[in-house]
Amino acid sequence: MSYPKSVTFTQARKFIAELATSSPVDAISLPLNQVVGRLLQEDVAAAIDVPAWDCSRVDGYAFAMSSMRQSEHEKLPVKDAIHAGTDATDVSSLKYAHPIMTGAMLPVGADSIVMKEHATVTSDHDLKLNQRVEKGAYIRRKGDDLKVGQLVIKKGRRLRPEDVGLLASVGVAKVKVNAMPKVLLILTGDELVSPGNDCEPGQIYDANSFMLRDLLLQMGCEVVAVKRLKDNRKHVSQVFKKLKDKPIDVVISVGGVSMGDKDYIPSVLSEEGRIVFHKTGIKPGFPMLFGQLGQAMYFGLPGNPVSAYTTLCQFIWPALRVMAGEAEMGNLNWRGKITHDVSKSHFRREFMRGYYVQSFDGSIDVTVCGAQQSSRIKSLTEANCFIVLDESQQDVVSGELVRIQPFHQFNVMS
């Protein structure tokens, strides 16, 4: 079966978005303590007024302004205190002042509050104002924040801790959100050794499985398994045959997609699934493979750590968002001033690892993090962003504005 080879970055994103749109994850109802980082799948309206009654904004004294003015010495007897959580519907303040705490229900007849530090309680237990008080001062009226039926949060929002607090404030216990995409991560390469074991000549420690698994968790995925494939075509084919029937949303393999003698992934995927495209015009990550295996979207990432990290962020992250119900859109992009000259002699889109610093005035300076070889994982640990150089962009001079993508956007579960 024929398929496009060496597509542009924009074409690759379009192909991926089309398949992701037709592969949505389920919507599930979850308690509030499990929804941060997920996409809300329903509009939520307030079932109650917030606040549900008139209450105090401060610690002070509640009273009726007319009663205070009618008092011969502008004093009122002080009665029992009203605390937050106390039902004050039977408490009258038409002839009295009541100590009231922040958030406590306003007593019947009270229309003003004076802060504690702006009043004095005399030896006769009378309240005396030390300064002028405006009628209605420091009262939080019923429904000031939200009214019954008012839209609280609209469908399609990726929930943050403050959103959860808002939902809880209107009594919501559960909401409908996207299920976590089920992801299977596959590592290829007979040379890989797990950390903690001896590394013989010719072998390397497996860094990708740890780095990519945790990155996927930060992106809101359920990593159902991390598997190793032998560099053996029969073994690869057997594994792919079994995976076709598995209830998995995304399969990600790392390595085995380039031109090596043992790079069997493309040919096996074409037999057991389908290839949408192979290779895309970016650096690093040119050999990336994309297709479908069973019901799962399939991403074959290059084996070098930086290439795998970059392609996951540039292609899989947008796909996950679309599967959850977000509209297709690019990654978060800022503008920063490069602090030194940068050489670019090719016509691929390049994602360099950079470190940005934001000044007090909001301006951003960004620096390339050393050597940019795709095998140099240290460049990722030194960086906090991608510096994005477009296909037509060539050498960049110091002081020029460049596009950057901060890494923090890839962590929605914190």
Question: Over 90: is that where the pLDDT of 61 sits?
Answer: yes
162-176, 317-331, 382-396: the lowest-pLDDT one: 317-331
CA pair distance 264, 262, nearest whole angstrom: 6
pLDDT digits (tens, 9 = 90+) for 83-138: 999 999 998 888 899 999 999 999 999 999 999 999 999 999 999 999 999 999 99
> 161: domain range?
36-47+151-178
Question: Over 90: is that where the pLDDT of 24 sits?
Answer: yes
pLDDT (0 to 100) of residue 354: 97
Average pLDDT over residues 50-58: 96
Is there a domain that residue 31 lies in? Answer: no
The mean predicted confidence, pLDDT, of the chain is 94
Question: Whose CA is closest to 254, among 354, 179, 183?
Answer: 183
On whether both 128 and 169 belong to a single domain, the answer is: no
* Top mean-pLDDT range of 66-75, 346-355, 371-380: 346-355
On whether both 383 and 314 belong to a single domain, the answer is: no
CATH label of the domain that carries residue 234: 3.40.980.10
On whether both 299 and 359 belong to a single domain, the answer is: no
Average pLDDT over residues 260-285: 95
Distance of CA 69 to the CA centre of its chain: 55
Is there a domain that residue 145 lies in? Answer: no
CATH label of the domain that carries residue 345: 2.40.340.10
Q: In degrees rounded to 5, what are phi and psi of residue 326? A: -75, 150
Q: For the chain, what is the domain count?
A: 4
Of 303, 324, 345, the one marking the end of a domain is: 324
Question: Over 80: is that where the pLDDT of 71 sits?
Answer: no
Question: Over 90: is that where the pLDDT of 76 sits?
Answer: yes
On whether both 107 and 157 belong to a single domain, the answer is: no
Q: What percent of the chain has pLDDT over 90?
A: 87
On whether both 260 and 390 belong to a single domain, the answer is: no
On whether both 42 and 170 belong to a single domain, the answer is: yes
* Burial class of residue 320 in the structure, from the number of CB atoms within 10 Å of its CB (0-12 exposed, 13-18 middle, 19+ buried): buried
Question: Whose CA is closest to 156, among 328, 396, 411?
Answer: 328
Tokens standing for residue 331: 């990654």
Is there a domain that residue 146 lies in? Answer: no
Question: Over 80: is that where the pLDDT of 73 sits?
Answer: no
Query: Do residues 81 and 127 lie in contact, with contact meaning Cβ atoms separated by under 8 Å?
Result: no
On whether both 43 and 63 belong to a single domain, the answer is: no
Is there a domain that residue 163 lies in? Answer: yes
Is there a domain that residue 95 lies in? Answer: yes
Confidence grade of residue 404 (pLDDT, cut at 50, 70, 90): very high
Average pLDDT over residues 353-382: 93
Query: Do residues 100 and 75 lie in contact, with contact meaning Cβ atoms separated by under 8 Å?
Result: no
pTM: 0.89
On whether both 190 and 236 belong to a single domain, the answer is: yes
Question: Over 70: is that where the pLDDT of 1 sits?
Answer: no
**Helical H segments across 350-402, by residue range:** 378-382
Question: Over 90: is that where the pLDDT of 407 sits?
Answer: yes
pLDDT (0 to 100) of residue 330: 83
CATH label of the domain that carries residue 86: 2.170.190.11
Query: Do residues 170 and 210 lie in contact, with contact meaning Cβ atoms separated by under 8 Å?
Result: no
Q: What percent of the chain has pLDDT over 70?
A: 100
Order of all β-strands in the sheet with 98-100: 98-100, 60-63, 112-115
On whether both 203 and 232 belong to a single domain, the answer is: yes
Is there a domain that residue 397 lies in? Answer: yes
CA pair distance 369, 18, nearest whole angstrom: 34
pLDDT (0 to 100) of residue 375: 83
On whether both 268 and 342 belong to a single domain, the answer is: no
Question: Whose CA is closest to 248, among 291, 302, 185?
Answer: 185
On whether both 173 and 193 belong to a single domain, the answer is: no
**Beta pairing partners, 311:** none
Is there a domain that residue 329 lies in? Answer: no
On whether both 42 and 73 belong to a single domain, the answer is: no
CATH label of the domain that carries residue 173: 3.90.105.10
pLDDT (0 to 100) of residue 5: 87
Maximum Cα–Cα distance across the chain? 101
